[in-house]
Copies of this chain bind each other. A is one copy, B any other.
Amino acid sequence: MTDAISPTEPGAHDALPSTRAQCEALDAADPLAPLRALFALPAGIVYLDGNSLGALPAATPARIADAVERQWGHDLIRSWNTAGWVELPQRVGAKIAALVGARADEVLAADATSVNLFKVLSAALKMRDGRGIIVSERGNFPTDLYIAQGLADQLGRGHTLRLVERDQLPAAIDESVAVVMLTQVDYRTGSRLDMNEVTAAAHRAGALMLWDLAHSAGAFPVDLNAARADFAVGCGYKYLNGGPGAPAFLFVAQRHQAAFSQPLSGWMGHAAPFAFETGYRPADGVARYLCGTPPVLSMVALDAGLDTLLAADAYGGLAALWRKSRQLTALFAARAQALCARHGLRCVTPMDGDRRGSQVSFTLPDGQQAYGVVQALIARGVIGDFRAPDILRFGFAPMYLRHVDAWDAAERLAAVLESGDWRSSEFLARAAVT
């Protein structure tokens, strides 16, 4: 599922529909249309927040009920073996591997993204002992920066986090750099880094490359091994539809698997967890990134989410989903700007399809306004989210979104701005989780 997308591919950016009827016709002719039925979507909602919490796959409730009632309730402890709970991190990891251009034995599902980042960043810094700099973007998702700071402080060996703006990255990656740690798609603007180019720049400087795929995995084709990435982490609850707080994943390139180590050396990453040895002996391969006992129920939900996503393989897989995503995001961006530019709405997502993720973000002249507009839009049935200081963010999961959804969302955004009802105090509630 990792076919490259040509930037000149026909149909990606042209022929945007100019009426709702044309959107309906495109949806009727859409070969991906049957995939929408794989999700349990609430009636009357246009859900543009699948980049924050993916929608519920229709198969998931029964999968979880089986895990709860039969596997846990009836089979009890035996399910660690009979239901394969003990292999869930590897089995689920292998499914994720197919989405990110990795080998099945290079990916593991475990813990939260932040915890996994701590593991792989620890391993990477150890492999580049003697170099002290971690390069990242100032606009990287904050938890990545916080984890790097926490690790650097803990090590107390002078590691420094060098934060730069995106356009300063090439200059910042020099021979002092141990690790370049970047999120491929900016969580606010949706701007996408060129994985091959940045990884090559890191390697030319002798640094290791660590990618956060939070807004990439399951959204468009990613090929970690083609780029020769060293480490990666990513999120299970966005485009993988794994449910709230789903386990995250990590990737370790096969060529590093003999050498690496990591400090969260819990028993599930031991070579023989059930021998109960006093001393730690790391498991072979990616399994040594396991720490504690995996949260089985959340892992089963992630497994079901992945099966749903992989059902798209019969329809052209991620390459086909990504073509549709570009159509939907281009349509929404163009229509929203046509209707709302006079209110100061400005698109901050690159309109070159190869430079963006599966989202469209706008700013408004005033942060308070941006916040209120998102809340008022939710009240009108279009769920996006606000990101400080002034971003309106709309994610497009093409498995369950249609052209009419993009059309209607732009219309309702315009209606909110026209009506001014975003000024109402009812829209000053607390922001949601990314």
Interface residues of A (CB under 8 A from B): 40, 42, 45, 47, 49, 52-53, 55-56, 60-61, 64-65, 68-69, 71-81, 85-86, 111-115, 118, 122, 138, 141-143, 145-147, 149-151, 153-157, 163, 237, 243-248, 261-268, 270, 273-280, 291-299, 301, 378, 383, 385, 387-388, 429-433
Contact = CB atoms under 8 A, between A and B. Distances in A.
A292 B112 contact: yes
Contacts of A122: 154
Given A81-B430, A138-B278, A383-B77, A292 B111 contact: yes
B292 A295 contact: no
A188 to B, nearest CB: 8
A266 B143 contact: yes
A37 to B, nearest CB: 14
A110 B63 CA distance: 24
A150 B77 contact: no
Contact of A243 (B141, B275, B296, B387): B296
A245 B383 contact: no
Contacts of A385: 77
A146 B296 contact: no
A146 B298 contact: no
Contacts of A55: 73, 76
B73 A295 contact: no
Instruction: Give this chain's copy count.
Output: 2
B53 A77 contact: yes
Nearest to A152: B263
B279 A149 contact: yes
A145 B276 CA distance: 10
A243 B69 CA distance: 11
A157 to B, nearest CB: 8
A296 B301 CA distance: 11
A353 B291 CA distance: 34
Contacts of A49: 76-77
Given A278-B142, A388-B276, A244 B297 contact: yes
Given A263-B150, A296-B245, A431-B274, A42 B387 contact: no
B112 A77 contact: no
Contacts of A146: 265-267, 270, 280
B64 A297 contact: yes
Given A143-B292, A149-B265, A244-B296, A387 B115 contact: no
A114 B267 contact: yes
A47 to B, nearest CB: 6
Interface pairs A-B: 10 shortest CB-CB = A112-B292, A114-B266, A150-B265, A143-B267, A56-B73, A244-B296, A114-B292, A154-B263, A295-B298, A146-B280
A278 B163 CA distance: 9
B80 A118 contact: no
A314 to B, nearest CB: 24
A247 to B, nearest CB: 7
B147 A81 contact: no
A264 B298 contact: no
A386 to B, nearest CB: 9
A60 B69 CA distance: 9
B56 A68 contact: yes
A76 B61 contact: no
A329 to B, nearest CB: 19
Contacts of A61: 65, 68-69, 73
A426 to B, nearest CB: 14
Contacts of A267: 114, 141-143, 146
A70 to B, nearest CB: 10
A248 B115 CA distance: 15
